[in-house]
């Protein structure tokens, strides 16, 4: 009897485990992409405010981003997930007029705020410019189509319709290995675009048909024709906490010299009643590093409740943060960072950094 009961218990446990596995919804893909120059609406909002997204100054300095952050912060954190599946090339049928910037209210409406008309921050460009599309998962492209809104269309006052667009450039089937730039955290296609006689506000609309499946990406980039130079091709700055591409690393001129392989600095970027947001910046020494570990030692229990761009282990008053796959490699003298949300009043920990070179 004991043996039979044991067998039944094992079977029940296996069945429960199987059910749990089956019912767990699949997580997001490791990485997707976006137009990083001229920055799309949600990527631009993340690039400008991702480390300071609760700053009330955004409401007056960047009101369209402010309304987007208030509507759904995940539209910015997941800046590389603005896509639809199963469109089968029928873009104008599947995506209704007025919803082009949200990919037809994709992802249960996460990106709806991208459709809101208003004075979005616009990139100044000339009549010859470059569209830079970042692909963090190296999907490649069946095709990429770049449109520019027609003369007379004003994105500040009018929601975008298909009839407002003019196709100006198409990139044919291009495997990821043939994209313009091969990066450590993905690939980037820099697409030259030329129009004539344009001035004033417009939208650049990009459709990226990824090659790995029927997955279509849609990006609205606000521009102002009349700039003297084109924006230089860009690469992503920081990823969302739950998705992919790598933070850019740039040489630091204000941080003191590093004693050892790396150094870490702690900064409070915003504060509110009952909590605050912080950033830890990692600076590589005179030798490039392959991975890093930052230890934060607090005077009391760790206040950290959420972290992005790092993996966290907490043990009492000590927190150990290690790089994730896309931001471990840092050039000599360059920086990367991770952010966090914490409870209570700001507390400054002791920060130590160790790295492999």
Is CATH 2.70.50.50 correct for 33-225?
yes
pLDDT band of residue 128 (cuts 50, 70, 90) is very high
Mean pLDDT for the stretch of residues 296-303: 93
Model confidence at 10, pLDDT cuts 50, 70, 90, reads: very low
pLDDT band at residue 28 under the 50/70/90 scheme: very low
- Is it the case that residue 258 has pLDDT exceeding 80? no
In the chain, CATH 2.60.40.290 covers 262-356
pLDDT at site 226: 86
334/250 Cα distance (integer angstroms): 5
The band of 227, judged by pLDDT with boundaries at 50, 70 and 90, is: low
Q: What is the 3-state secondary structure (H, E, C) of the chain?
A: CHHHHHHHHHHHHHHHHHHHHHHCCCCCCCCCEEEEECECHHHHHHHHHCCCCCCCCHHHHCHHHHHHHHHCCHHHHCCCCCEEECCCCCHHHHCCCCCHHHCCCHHHHCCHHHHCCCCCCCEEECCEEEEEEEECCCCCEEEEEEEEECCCCCCCCCCCCHHHEEEEEEECCECHHHCCEEECCEEEEEEEEECCCCCEEEEEEEEEEECCCCEEEEEEEEEEECCCCCCCCCCCCCCCCCCCCCCCCCECCCCCCCCCCEEEEEEEEEEECCEEEEEEEEEECCCCECEEEEEEECCCCCCEEEEECCEEEEECCEEEEECCCCCCCECCCEEEEEEEEEECCCCCCEEEEEEEC
Report whether pLDDT(14) > 60.
no
> Per-residue pLDDT averaged across 125-137, rounded?
94
Q: Output Rg (C-alpha) for the chain, integer angstroms.
A: 23
Share of the chain above pLDDT 90, in %: 60
Average pLDDT over residues 121-134: 95
Averaged pLDDT for residues 222-246: 54
Q: Are 184 and 246 in contact (CB under 8 A)?
A: yes
Ranges in the chain annotated CATH 2.70.50.50? 33-225
234 has a pLDDT exceeding 90: no
Instruction: Give the pLDDT confidence of 168-212 residue by residue, as tens digits.
Output: 999 999 999 999 999 888 899 999 999 999 999 999 999 999 998
Average pLDDT along the chain: 83
Give the pLDDT score at 266. 93
Q: From 2.60.40.290, 2.40.30.10, 3.40.50.300, 3.40.640.10, which CATH number describes the 262-356 domain? A: 2.60.40.290
Q: Judging by DSSP bridges, how do beta strands 311-315 and 350-356 pair with one another? A: unpaired
pLDDT at 341: 80
**Confidence category of residue 290, pLDDT binned at 50, 70, 90:** very high
- pLDDT for the residue 340: 83
Burial class (CB in 10 A: 0-12, 13-18, 19+), 222: buried
């Amino acid at each position: 009897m004991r043996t039979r009961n044991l067998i039944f218990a094992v079977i029940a446990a296996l069945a429960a485990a199987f059910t749990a596995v089956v019912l767990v919804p699949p997580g997001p893909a490791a990485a997707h992409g976006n137009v990083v120059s001229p920055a799309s609406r949600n990527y631009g909002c993340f690039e400008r405010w991702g480390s300071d997204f609760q700053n009330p100054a955004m409401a007056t300095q960047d009101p369209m981003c402010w309304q987007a952050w208030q509507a759904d912060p995940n539209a910015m954190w997941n800046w590389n997930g603005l896509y639809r599946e199963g469109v089968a090339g029928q873009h104008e049928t599947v995506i209704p007029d007025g919803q082009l910037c949200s990919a037809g209210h994709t992802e249960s409406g996460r990106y709806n705020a991208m459709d809101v008309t208003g004075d979005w921050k616009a990139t100044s460009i000339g009549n010859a410019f470059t569209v830079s599309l970042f692909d963090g998962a190296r999907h490649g492209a069946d095709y990429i189509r770049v449109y520019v809104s027609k003369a007379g269309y004003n994105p500040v006052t009018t929601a975008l319709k298909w009839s407002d667009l003019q196709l100006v450039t198409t990139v044919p089937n291009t495997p990821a290995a043939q994209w313009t730039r091969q990066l450590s955290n993905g690939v980037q296609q820099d697409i030259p675009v030329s129009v004539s006689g344009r001035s004033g506000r417009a939208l650049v609309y990009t459709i990226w048909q990824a090659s790995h499946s029927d997955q279509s990406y849609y990006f609205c980039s606000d521009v102002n024709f009349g700039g003297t130079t084109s924006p230089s091709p860009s690469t992503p700055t920081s990823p969302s906490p739950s998705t992919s591409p790598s933070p850019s690393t740039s040489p630091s001129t204000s941080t003191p010299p590093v004693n050892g392989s790396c150094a870490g600095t702690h900064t409070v970027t915003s504060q509110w009643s009952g909590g605050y947001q912080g950033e830890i910046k990692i600076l590589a020494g005179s030798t490039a590093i392959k991975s890093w570990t930052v230890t934060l030692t607090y005077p009391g229990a760790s206040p950290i409740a959420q972290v992005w761009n790092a993996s966290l282990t907490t043990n009492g008053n000590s927190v150990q943060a290690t790089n994730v796959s896309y931001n471990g490699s840092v050039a000599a003298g360059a920086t990367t960072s991770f952010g966090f949300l914490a409870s209570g009043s700001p507390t400054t920990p002791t920060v130590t950094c160790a790295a492999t070179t």
